[in-house]
Amino acid sequence: GAVVSQHPSRVICKSGTSVKIECRSLDFQATTMFWYRQFPKQSLMLMATSNEGSKATYEQGVEKDKFLINHASLTLSTLTVTSAHPEDSSFYICSGPQGNEQFFGPGTRLTVL
């Protein structure tokens, strides 16, 4: 199957700082990528749909100015959590579709102190 990587896998930051998470499709091109957030023992919650060459589409309740998404190329999408706060601590996962399947990155554990 296709491979999606994420970097970093874990990040700890101070409140008020910004954190960038990268999502790369290693062996396929993705015009669309999805960003999810998952809290412990809860389902994946779609945050936004990242579109190569155009603006991301955000789900209701997700602040676009706080969660900046840039889909710079067909293999790279980035999520920047700006002015992070402890409540932003979560597991962030990206995915890219290929055919009828979604291929997920390994996730990024963000802890905001």
Partner 1 sequence: SQKIEQNSEALNIQEGKTATLTCNYTNYSPAYLQWYRQDPGRGPVFLLLIRENEKEKRKERLKVTFDTTLKQSLFHITASQPADSATYLCALVQGSNYQLIWGAGTKLIIKP
Residues near partner 1 (CB under 8 A): 1, 4, 6, 32, 34, 42-44, 46, 49, 91, 93, 95, 97, 100-107, 109
Residue 19 or 93 having the CB closest to partner 1: 93
- The dihedral built from the CA positions of residue 39, 90, 104 and 79, taken in this order, carries a sign that is positive
Residue 41, by phi and psi: left (phi above 0), alpha (psi -120 to 50) or beta?
A: left
Say how far apart CA 96 and CA 92 lie, in whole Å: 14
Q: Which pair of tokens denotes residue 51?
A: 């579109």
* Minimum gap (Å) between residue 93 Cβ and partner 1: 5
Residue 43 or 87 having the CB closest to partner 1: 43
Residue 52 or 66 having the CB closest to partner 1: 52
